[in-house]
Every structure is written in structure tokens, then in C-alpha cells.
């Protein structure tokens, strides 16, 4: 997936990092691993459509989840240095608690591409950058 960042935002971030030579990495990791994950997850969740299927039927109760992905914790995250991975609790659609249609969130499953991840990231990246600036400025001492 490709997303764009405003070069001025990168320059601003770089200046803030320069003022925290030994602590910036820790602040960035903490922010990405908490706020970053939450922002991307909430933006993807907001874009997940709810089908009109009656999930309270006997078959759904026996073979799968009775909840829609939008109404549950559909994702898992993995933290990395200066980043994170957010992915769906995918798997075979016939496994209980699996949201098989989210295995490929950029295409969704159905008639047309839904681009959950791309659209959510376009919204979340500026919010994450704002959080990063705020946390770095707070750590510097709020004098910027």
C-alpha cells in the first residue's frame, strides 16, 4: 500500500526529533503503538459495511460469528520499531470468530473493491502525524 506524506510535515517532524536526540525514538514508538494503531483501526472499522444478512439464524450460530466485524474487535496489531502492523483476524470464513471477508481488506469480498485500508490510512496518517508532533513538543517542553 502506498500513502503520501506532506514534505513540510516531515521537515517539522525532523526538527522536533533533532531536539530530542536520545528520547525521540521512544516517544515516536509509544505514540505509534497506542494512538497510531487506534486511529487506523477506528478508521477502517468506520468504513466496514454491515451486511443485511440475518446473522442470528441457526447456521450462523453453529458455523460462525453472530456479530458483524464492525461491531467487534476484528483486528490484531504487531508493534515494530518506528511502526506497526494492523491486520484482520482473518482465516477461513467457516471458523468461529473469523471475519474471512476482511482477509483482503483492500479488496473486501463482494462485487467491487472497497479499499478499506487505503481510505482509512489516508484519513489516519495526518491524525497520526499531528499526534506525533504533539507528543514530541510535549516532551521537548511545549516551547515550540
The whole-number average pLDDT for the span 23-51 is 92
Flag whether 4 is in a domain.
no
Dump pLDDT digits (tens) for 1-22.
Answer: 566 778 898 899 999 999 998 8
pLDDT band at 117 (very low <50, low <70, confident <90, very high): confident
Q: Cα(95)–Cα(135) distance, rounded to whole angstroms?
A: 41
What pLDDT, on the 0 to 100 scale, is given for residue 144?
Answer: 45
Flag whether 2 is in a domain.
no
Flag whether 15 is in a domain.
yes
Total domain count for the chain? 1
Q: Structural domain of residue 58, as residue ranges?
A: 9-140
Flag whether 94 is in a domain.
yes
Count of CB atoms within 10 A of residue 139's CB? 16
Tell me the whole-structure pTM to 2 decimals: 0.79
Amino acid at each position: 500500500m502506498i500513502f503520501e506524506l506532506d514534505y513540510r510535515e516531515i521537515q517539522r517532524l525532523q526538527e522536533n526529533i533533532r531536539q530530542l536526540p536520545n528520547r525521540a525514538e521512544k516517544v515516536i514508538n509509544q505514540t505509534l503503538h497506542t494512538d497510531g494503531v487506534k486511529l487506523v483501526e477506528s478508521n477502517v472499522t468506520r468504513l466496514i459495511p454491515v451486511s443485511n444478512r440475518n446473522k442470528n439464524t441457526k447456521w450462523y450460530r453453529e458455523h460462525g460469528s453472530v456479530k458483524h466485524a464492525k461491531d467487534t474487535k476484528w483486528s490484531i496489531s504487531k508493534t515494530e520499531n518506528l511502526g506497526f502492523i494492523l491486520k484482520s483476524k482473518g482465516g477461513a470464513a467457516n471458523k468461529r470468530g473469523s471475519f474471512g471477508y476482511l482477509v483482503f481488506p483492500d479488496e473486501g469480498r463482494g462485487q467491487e473493491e472497497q479499499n478499506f485500508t487505503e481510505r482509512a490510512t489516508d484519513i489516519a496518517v495526518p491524525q497520526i502525524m499531528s499526534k506525533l508532533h504533539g507528543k514530541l513538543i510535549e516532551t521537548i517542553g511545549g516551547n515550540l
